[in-house]
Amino acid sequence: MVKRIGILTGGGDCPGLNAAIRAIVRKGISIHGYEIFGILNGWAGLLDGKIKPLGRDDVSGILHKGGTIIGTSRTNPYKRDDGVDKIKENMKISNLESIIAIGGEDTLGVAAKLIDEGIKVVGVPKTIDNDLKGTQYTFGFDTAVSIITEAIDRLHSTAEAHHRVIVLEVMGRHAGWLAVVGGIAGGADLILIPEEPFDINGVCEVIKRRHQSGRDFSLVVVSEGAKEKEMNEITSSKRKDEFGHEMLGGIGNVLSKKIEKITGFETRVTVLGHTQRGGTPTAFDRVLATRYGIAAIDLIAKDQYGFMVALVGGEIKPIPLKEMASGIKTVDMELYEIAKVFFG
Ligand code: F6P
């Protein structure tokens, strides 16, 4: 019997998801002779049995498109008593032999647990946050960095014209990769990240010194998860998602008010938000997502389950999903030290 493989995309969307889906479908059908099915809206589709066949025509013309043609959600099957049973039942009804889960820490965390239930899963790492252990890059990150870089370039000229401080709040829940890499690329004058809680007076000193030395404008990049020493992260809502994450956001506003009050310099804030996740993927993300998709379907062809495809030393290699699930990948502090050379 022809192998039937299900693909799902879970968690926050990111540019490159469609490129990965296209790669899996194209190689899965034409080289391996499989039947490929799209599971709609992440793990929710396996709980509700919302699964549809994906053929070559379905993945035509999607390489450059943002979002995901099969939808996504932050559904956690372990939040339902019968979640795992429902997944098994719906896989059986649809005759799915195995699943390729494309996701971040939450979606792939579920995949890592399902292996112990005897479910055959292969993981593909995506997230703009680039915070997955075991891989140098997740796809989506490069596109988000280029959006941040462009935003900083645009904010620089207006900050300079008005002699202002501009605070740019970027995404990145518990890891400051987007802020650090985007900030270095855009020439930020200060970058604040979750990994290193900051002292507000120290921040203002750096800005004051810069302005006193004749450069009377500043660009501060702050991760949504950055926080002042001995304080909690700022949240935009007390509501938590099914994986227990609070909705972060608001640090940019708090910070800009404090900077203006302490330094006396006129300060504005820009929150980049979901623009970082939308639209066309960069060439790098399209190629990385394609390589991951091909590697994932090839693992299935070799009957190798329980792995996530990862970028290691420039090559795509399988690493155990359990290794990915053992924690998150925080910012490389050597890279942050490079960013600090340009502070002030
Ligand atoms: O996990 C990716 C991410 O973009 C985080 O950087 C951010 O905190 C979160 O998703 C936002 O989630 P939502 O789309 O649910 O607002």
Give yes or no: residues 176 and 102 share one domain.
no
- Terminal CA-to-CA distance of the chain, rounded, Å? 65
For 223, the 3-state DSSP assignment is strand
Q: What is the DSSP letter of 265?
A: -
Residue nearest to atom 15 of ligand 1 (CA): 12
Residue nearest to atom 16 of ligand 1 (CA): 247
Q: Cα of 41 to ligand 1 centre, how many Å?
A: 16
3-state DSSP of 104-159: CHHHHHHHHHHHCCCCCEEEEEECCCCCECCCCCCECHHHHHHHHHHHHHHHHHHH
Residues 31 and 126 in one domain: yes
Same domain as 272, residue 288: no
pLDDT at 318 (0 to 100) = 98
CA distances from 249 to 235, 237, 272, 283, 340 (A): 5, 8, 10, 29, 24
| Paired tokens of 300 | 């299935």
Q: Facing residues of 121 across strands?
A: 99
Q: If you take atom 9 of ligand 1, which residue's CA is the nearest one? A: 12
User: Which residues form ligand 1's pocket by a CB distance below 6 Å?
Assistant: 12, 104, 127-129, 171-173, 224, 248, 277
Give the structural domain span for 290.
4-139+281-324
23 shares its domain with 128:
yes
pLDDT score, position 238: 85
Q: pLDDT, tens digit, for every residue of 78-122? A: 999 999 999 999 999 999 999 999 999 999 999 999 999 999 999
Residues 120 and 154 in one domain: no
Query: Dihedral angle at the C-alpha atoms of 232, 234, 237, 243, nearest 10 degrees?
Result: -60
Give CA 283 to chain center in angstroms: 17
Total domains in the chain come to 2
Same domain (yes/no): 153, 133: no
- Centre of ligand 1 to C-alpha 309, Å, is 22
Q: Which residues contact 23 (CB under 8 A, 6 or more apart)?
A: 289, 290, 291, 292, 293, 294, 297
Residue 214 and residue 245 in one domain = yes
In the chain, which residues have pLDDT < 70? none
Query: Which pair of tokens denotes residue 52?
Result: 């549809």
Q: Are residues 15 and 115 in the same domain?
A: yes
241 catalytic, yes or no?
no
Q: Which atom of ligand 1 is nearest to the CA of 173?
A: 8
Q: How far is the CA of 12 from the centre of ligand 1 (A)?
A: 6
The CATH number of the domain where 26 resides is what? 3.40.50.450
pLDDT for res 195: 98
Cα 286 versus chain centre, distance: 15
3-state secondary structure of 102: strand
